Structure 1
Amino acid sequence: MEHAAARWRMLAILFIARTAMAFQFQMVGALSPLFVTTYGVGLADIGLLVGLYFAPGIVIALPGGSLSARFGDKRLLVLGSALMLAGGALALLVDGFAGQIAARLIAGVGGVMLNVIGTKAVADWFAGREISTAMAIYINSWPFGIALALAVLPGVAALGGLDWALGSSAALAALGLGLLLGLFRAAPQAAGGALPAGWPHGARRTGLVAAALIWAFVNAALILAFSFGPALLTQRGLPLVAASGLTSLSLWMLALCAPFGGILADRTGARDGVILCGLAVFGAGLISIRIGLPPAPGFALIGIGTGLCAGPIMTLPAAVLDPATRALGMGLFFTLYYAVTLSGPVLGGWLAALTGSAAGSFDAAVVLIGLCVLLLLLVRRIIAAGPHDRPA
């Protein structure tokens, strides 16, 4: 009983720390009109600032497992949370936009480290014991933190200005750091060990890249929707607080629906059908907002669709990788994920600046969802063909 209680305490700590990461990530999107007026920048610059949070993942994701084995989960989690706090504090202190870029990169290094090592820590604590439930809870800290930022930060800024909003993000990072430093401990059975030799080859590698791009494109489309949603709605005449609140509806619905997508796929055996259904609902929500229909149903559809397909999509890598290449394969999976999610907001901001409207970012999101359908068909074909190739 004591060990079971410890597992759930560690999960709660990691949930709070990762919520702080999501809150910090979404800070720029939630406050984008204030960043524009305060620093005299355009939507393309906002897209760059949003995407920079993921930039360190291109370098950190791949060696994350080996770093954990060498230095231990707690040290890296504390370091990651401390870097998030340092970046948050720097954002509060600097005056120019260049300083915000530096602060964003520092916080992003910490956020990526926390995300990669935190996922491993959850797996260590819950291996063979309710791991699906634990992972669903842990993953939901992301939409929860983003929705919290959208709901809270504009109101805080309305009361005390941009500095108060930046300070609240740093304070939440400090809470996560304190919990990790004082209460977190690694799972007793957590083991390091050498990484398996060899990479996935042939059809396995192609299937892995396709699966990674599906997950990356879905996340990039979601980031475009909730990062530029407030800007689009304010351009259409809504106040910032109302625009952010409506945009946050997508994240609340995602947090509510995510566990059910995995349950539905498991019980029906129709994983790909659930993914396609989720993508269709997601795309319908994007299009309805783009053409000017009432935004509340559109953002709700975005959240429901993402929630339906998120869990089943994350089963695709295991379906195309064998045990000997799974560790390095997953490192490649997350490297591609971070590369795409870095470029997605930058592309959305560029399109918004080119068209003169944040609606351009929603056009990009619709295209990404369409590409996911084509990539899923490729993964289905590779899985159906079977593992004919072998690692070299």
Structure 2
Amino acid sequence: MRWRILALLFAARVGLGFQFQTMGAVGGNLTDAFGLDNAQIGLMIGLFMAPGLFLALPAGFSGRFASDRVLAGFGLGALALGSALSAMASEPPGIGFGRVVSGVGFLFAMLYFTKMVADWFEGREIATAMSILVMSWPFGIAMGQVGHTWLAEVHGWRVPFGVAAIWCALAALAVLTLYRPPHDLPSRTASRIKGLLPREWGLIVLAGFAWGVFNAGYVVYLSFGPTMLEAQGMNTLAAASVISVGSWLMILSGTFCGQIADRLGRRETILAVCMAGAVLALMLLSLPGAELAASLLFGLVGMAPAGVIMALAGQAVAPERRAFGMGVFFTVYYAIMTASPPVAGWLLDRTGTPESAILCGAALFALVFPVAVLFRMLKTGATPEPIKETA
């Protein structure tokens, strides 16, 4: 049953990446239509993450009053609505408003999808399950990198937003009708503790920081990697296709990496090797002729430990406080994700060279390993209320 539930959540969560990538795919079209610069395109990308800064904690708290199924379905519905609003907008502020509405939906869907999988797989193959779940994000993004770019070139910038809206609406219907919670899930009222324990605060903040910088580095790669390749003479569709190779490959490498972590442990070693690979891959993008090798390295090694990092959130907080803990986790995540694309875009505008934005992404990836080490030290060094851990 749990693997069927995971398949349902994977298919629905593909819509999050598919919708997110609309802006990255149509950025050039919006520049031509409205004269937006790179910093403004980066701001449009970041608006998708902005609601999480203010709503992540309330979203986690709302889990005390509504079911995970309803809240995840609401999130997917808001994603569909926001994408439709962007498609119908006549000016950049309208597009930005649609991105904000989509961002609200993204927050709820991301938070409760993560909680659902943690509930179903706690203590058994959680790194593998989280790896499979988070691979739905690059799967949707890779679909959008090629599909949205083609749609925008052939039919105009509005069509990618419309297609993404349809996917998210169908996903909302599927989750609302088919999802079932595990039978042994603790009651929402089982715990008398209203907030998190002190150690849980430290653990969930570190987990959110690691997940935030990891994903911010990925977004910088997706958003400015094509710009790097276009500066070397590659056309728009070819550049998007090369960059998308990394996203397609990480779907397989991420699942494999999660299985290794569940069976063998050695999480810090895995993260050290993979983050070194991510930094090297970004450096290779600046070398003409090395773009495909860079994308291969990025997908096979650099992005492989996504599930290992996400699994930290499931290990940080006790099940009865997990919804609120996820709110804290995503508050930290969104703070990093909201700031990073505009900063990278500003660096590109300031220097005039895409290498500066790519260096920003490399620095973000380099932060993951030391933060994960701090998480492990705090988790193993404290004694109250031990948290169940896999592998």
CA shift in 2, pair 1:133/1:120, >3 Å = same
Q: What letter is aligned with 2:345? A: G
Residues 1:239 and 2:245 aligned together: no
- Partners of 1:69 and 1:193 within 8 A in 2: yes
87-96 or 114-123: bigger deviation: 114-123
SS of the residue corresponding to residue 230 of structure 2 reads helix
Residues 1:340 and 2:322 aligned together: no
Q: 2:154 aligns with which of 159, 163, 170?
A: 159
Q: Which residue of 2 aligns with 1:62?
A: 57
Q: Which residue of 2 aligns with 1:89?
A: 84
Q: Which residue of 1 aligns with 2:389?
A: none
SS of the residue corresponding to residue 31 of structure 1 reads helix
Deviations 1:126-180 (A, max 9, x none): 5567655443322211110011111211112222121222222222122213323
Residues 1:141 and 2:136 aligned together: yes
Instruction: Measure, in 1, the Cα distance between the counterparts of 2:196 and 2:72.
Output: 27
Q: Which residue of 2 aligns with 1:222?
A: 218
Instruction: Measure, in 2, the Cα distance between the counterparts of 1:264 and 1:12.
Output: 21
TM-score (norm 2): 0.88
Q: 2:66 aligns with which of 71, 75, 96?
A: 71
- Partners of 1:348 and 1:361 within 8 A in 2: yes
Q: What letter is aligned with 2:146? A: A
Instruction: Measure, in 2, the Cα distance between the counterparts of 1:183 and 1:145.
Output: 21
- Partners of 2:345 and 2:357 within 8 A in 1: yes
- Partners of 2:115 and 2:323 within 8 A in 1: no
Tell me by how many angstroms 1:30 deviates.
2.1
CA shift in 2, pair 1:71/1:207, >3 Å = closer
Instruction: Measure, in 1, the Cα distance between the counterparts of 2:35 and 2:276.
Output: 38
SS of the residue corresponding to residue 57 of structure 2 reads coil
Q: Which residue of 2 aligns with 1:284?
A: 280
Tell me by how many angstroms 1:244 deviates.
0.8
Instruction: Measure, in 2, the Cα distance between the counterparts of 1:325 and 1:104.
Output: 30
State how 1:297-308 maps to structure 2 within 5 Å. 297-308=293-304
SS of the residue corresponding to residue 193 of structure 1 reads coil
SS of the residue corresponding to residue 233 of structure 2 reads coil
RMSD: 2.7
Q: Which residue of 2 aligns with 1:350?
A: 346
Q: Which residue of 2 aligns with 1:117?
A: 112
CA shift in 2, pair 1:75/1:372, >3 Å = closer
- Partners of 1:89 and 1:167 within 8 A in 2: yes
38-47 or 370-379: bigger deviation: 370-379
Number of residue pairs aligned between Structure 1 and Structure 2? 384
Q: Which residue of 1 aligns with 2:34?
A: 39
Tell me by how many angstroms 1:8 deviates.
4.3
CA shift in 2, pair 1:122/1:206, >3 Å = closer
SS of the residue corresponding to residue 314 of structure 1 reads helix
CA shift in 2, pair 1:130/1:280, >3 Å = closer
Instruction: Measure, in 2, the Cα distance between the counterparts of 1:327 and 1:344.
Output: 26
- Partners of 2:129 and 2:307 within 8 A in 1: no
Q: 2:292 aligns with which of 278, 291, 296?
A: 296
Tell me by how many angstroms 1:219 deviates.
0.9
Residues 1:80 and 2:94 aligned together: no
Residues 1:50 and 2:45 aligned together: yes
Q: Which residue of 2 aligns with 1:371?
A: 367
State how 1:176-215 maps to structure 2 within 5 Å. 176-190=171-185, 192-194=187-189, 196-201=193-198, 205-206=201-202, 208-215=204-211
Instruction: Measure, in 2, the Cα distance between the counterparts of 1:208 and 1:124.
Output: 16
68-77 or 139-148: bigger deviation: 68-77
Tell me by how many angstroms 1:274 deviates.
0.7
CA shift in 2, pair 1:134/1:316, >3 Å = closer
176-185 or 81-90: bigger deviation: 176-185
CA shift in 2, pair 1:356/1:108, >3 Å = same
Q: What letter is aligned with 1:236? A: Q
Tell me by how many angstroms 1:321 deviates.
5.8
Instruction: Measure, in 1, the Cα distance between the counterparts of 2:244 and 2:221.
Output: 10
Q: Which residue of 2 aligns with 1:248?
A: 244
Instruction: Measure, in 2, the Cα distance between the counterparts of 1:19 and 1:309.
Output: 18
SS of the residue corresponding to residue 285 of structure 2 reads helix
- Partners of 1:92 and 1:167 within 8 A in 2: yes
63-72 or 372-381: bigger deviation: 372-381
Unaligned segments of structure 1, at least 5 residues = none
Instruction: Measure, in 1, the Cα distance between the counterparts of 2:65 and 2:315.
Output: 29
Instruction: Measure, in 1, the Cα distance between the counterparts of 2:18 and 2:92.
Output: 20
341-350 or 274-283: bigger deviation: 341-350
Deviations 1:200-221 (A, max 9, x none): 437x654543333222111110
137-146 or 54-63: bigger deviation: 54-63
Deviations 1:206-256 (A, max 9, x none): 454333322211111011001222222223221111111111111112111
Deviations 1:91-139 (A, max 9, x none): 1111111111100000110111111112222344455676554433222
- Partners of 1:272 and 1:312 within 8 A in 2: no
TM-score (norm 1): 0.88
Unaligned segments of structure 2, at least 5 residues = 387-391
Tell me by how many angstroms 1:268 deviates.
3.3
Fraction of identical pairs, as percent: 33
